[in-house]
Amino acid sequence: MSRTLLRAAIAGIAALSAVAAAPVAAQQFPNKILRVVNPNAPGGNSDVLFRLLAPKMGEVLGQQLVIDYRPGAGGNIGAEMVARAAPDGYTTLIAAASFLINPSLLKNIPFDAEKDFTPLGIIVDIPAGLAVHPSLPVKNVQDLVALAKRRPGDLNYSSSGQGALGHLSGALLDATAGIKPVHIPYKGAGPSIVDLVAGQVQFSFVSIPAITGHLQSGRLRMIAQCGEKRFVSFPDVPTMVESGVKDFVVTSPFSYLGPAGMQQPIVSRLSEALRASLNDPKNNKMLIERGALPVGNTPAEHAAQIKSEIAKWKRVAAAAGLKPM
């Protein structure tokens, strides 16, 4: 046999061996510590969530999950690291709602949120609410819309910043209900809520857990919830859809993702471990008490949600005149 034929035969055998080894590696997964990249600083929602869920996931998988903090660039640094990682399941990502919003606001994102990742499931949704200052003479969304139409450009709403979820929620209300409120951006959710409580702004779309104390004290009034269903802590407050605003669903989902190209057995193992941890009675109770709605949907459902959410926020950003920077 010539050297050329010999080399070709060896290369063919090596390729076949690699193909055969891949399913074996997937069946043995995991056999070492798993790294979960958090693209935000320690102490935030994503950090608290995964520290709660990681022990049970590790128990199900038989391996420890270790959080690797990679903050910066609105979460893009950590997300890019995972997008470029080997698709072997040992490097995954926990991503906040900015992962779904950034494609509508930023030009040079170093990855494709739809193509460069393997969806493993939505971890939780943090519900938002439409909160108003008690001095505003409205009892429901219909009253607010009617008042805004009578006084175009007179009502204002706050958000945690230009392009933030609260800002785009106001833009979505404008697009769906035909009102023209004035957006007042703040540097963070804290100052935005402070001025809402003080009556400096009339309303705001804000995380329900962040304003629960103000709602209980009467300093704010929530006239609608923005999720698909009513949050268990506020069963008497209708959703935006129930209030007559068609297709208005805004939550802050936290995604669990891996690099693109992961093998199905690995995807299934990680997704099932996430659901097992979310369904653990102790974890489930603690998440709800903290204002988070456990989800744990399938990878296919997660992929569809990523696609629809990115498309939605691109439409809303365009309607609000926000061009990618």
18 and 152 fall within a common domain:
no
pLDDT for 39-91, tens place per residue? 988 877 888 888 999 999 999 999 999 999 999 888 899 999 999 999 999 99
270 and 310 co-located in one domain? yes
**Six token digits for residue 124:** 């939780």
Q: What angle, rounded to 10 degrees, do the helices at 299-319 and 98-105 form?
A: 40
pLDDT of residue 18: 45
pLDDT digits (tens, 9 = 90+) for 246-267: 889 988 999 999 999 999 999 9
Q: What's the domain range around 263?
A: 8-126+252-319
CATH number at residue 289: 3.40.190.150
Residues 199, 289, single domain; the answer is: no
The answer to whether residues 106 and 203 belong to one domain is no
Give Cα 91 to chain centroid, integer Å: 19
Nearest residue to 210 via CA among 115, 271, 146, 126: 126
pLDDT in tens, 133-164: 999 999 999 999 999 999 988 999 999 888 88
User: In terms of domains, do 115 and 131 share one?
Assistant: no
Q: Largest alpha-carbon pair distance within the chain?
A: 91
CATH of the domain at 161: 3.40.190.10
Burial class (CB in 10 A: 0-12, 13-18, 19+), 258: buried
Res 158: pLDDT: 95
Residues 206 and 287 reside in one and the same domain:
no
271-320: pLDDT as tens digits: 999 999 999 999 999 998 888 899 999 999 999 999 999 999 998 888 87
Encode pLDDT of 170-188 as tens digits.
Answer: 999 998 888 989 999 998 8
**Per-residue confidence (pLDDT) for residue 20, from 0 to 100:** 47
- Note whether residue 237 is domain-resident: no
Q: Which residues contact 97 (CB under 8 A, 6 or more apart)?
A: 165, 251, 252, 253, 254
pTM above 0.85, yes or no: no
Domain boundary residue, one of 225, 241, 265: 225
Residue 82 tokens read as 């995972």
